[in-house]
Each structure stands twice: as structure tokens, then as C-alpha cells.
Amino acid sequence: MWIQKEIQLKARNRGFHLITGELLSELPELRSFKIGMMNIFIMHTSASLTLNENADPTVREDFERYFSRAVPEHDPFYQHRDEGPDDLPAHLKSSILDSSLNIPIADGQARLGTWQGVYLCEHRNLGGSRRLVVTIQGE
């Protein structure tokens, strides 16, 4: 069985946001899968997804500090500045991280580790709402 669904996330400030609960609440169909795989794809080039620590919010704060330092705004090296100083850094961060995640499914639940959560990595100062396509395959 296959299911594909588009999910609209609310706009968020720049940073790393834990969205596991919001994401799974939009997927009641997940409960009907005994075994399978879920692919989550973000339909944007200036935001990304990653899987990491779900308990301590300082991890997400440290992620933002690290990426802001590793890929700074206002670098004279950048040519692409069409949408402001955070534009190309957002594209670079999105490519360094990823645009999709694959998560196993077992007994109607995402098989995440105890301390794992799905992050929306918002790399723009004013990125707006973000769209995800979730594809689930299994039985």
C-alpha cells in the first residue's frame, strides 16, 4: 500500500525546529501500517530536514549557532543575493543538510530512537510556511 500526502507547516523564525509531533499528527494513516518506510521531502531550497536530539533545546540552538558561523551572511564571495543576505547561505545550508528523510515504520508508528526527533531547519529570516510531501509505503 502507498500513501502520499502534502503537509503545510506554519511559518517559523530562522532556526532548528522540532516538528515530530506536528508531522505525525497530520498522518493518522500511519496507524494502518504494520511495516513500512516513510519518506519526508521538503519542497524548498532554503530550508531542510534533519534527524537529531529531541529532548534538550540547546542542541537546536547550537545547530543554529554552528551553521550561522560556518555559512555566514554578507560574505563578499557570494554572487547570488537576489532575495537578501540570507538567500545564498540558506541554499548552502539546505544542501549541506538534506531535503528528505527516510524513517522506518513498525506497528503503526515511526521507528525513531528514544532521543530522535525530526527538525525543520529554517535557514531564512522570513522563510514563510513550508510544504512537505510525505510518502509512505508498506503493508
Q: Which CATH number fits the domain that encloses residue 17?
A: 2.60.120.460
Contacts of residue 3, Cβ cutoff 8 Å, sequence gap at least 6: 29, 134, 135, 136
Full pLDDT tens readout for the chain, 139 residues: 999 999 999 999 999 999 999 999 999 999 999 999 999 999 999 999 999 999 999 999 999 999 999 999 998 989 998 889 999 999 999 999 999 999 999 999 999 999 999 999 999 998 899 999 999 999 9
Range of the domain at 93: 2-138
> Which residues on adjacent β-strands are paired with residue 124?
none
0.75 cut: is pTM over it? yes
Residues composing the chain: 139
Per-residue model confidence (pLDDT) at position 81: 84
Number of H helices and number of E strands within the chain?
3, 8
Interatomic CA distance for residues 74 and 56, integer angstroms: 31
Number of domains in the chain: 1
Residue 103: predicted pLDDT: 98
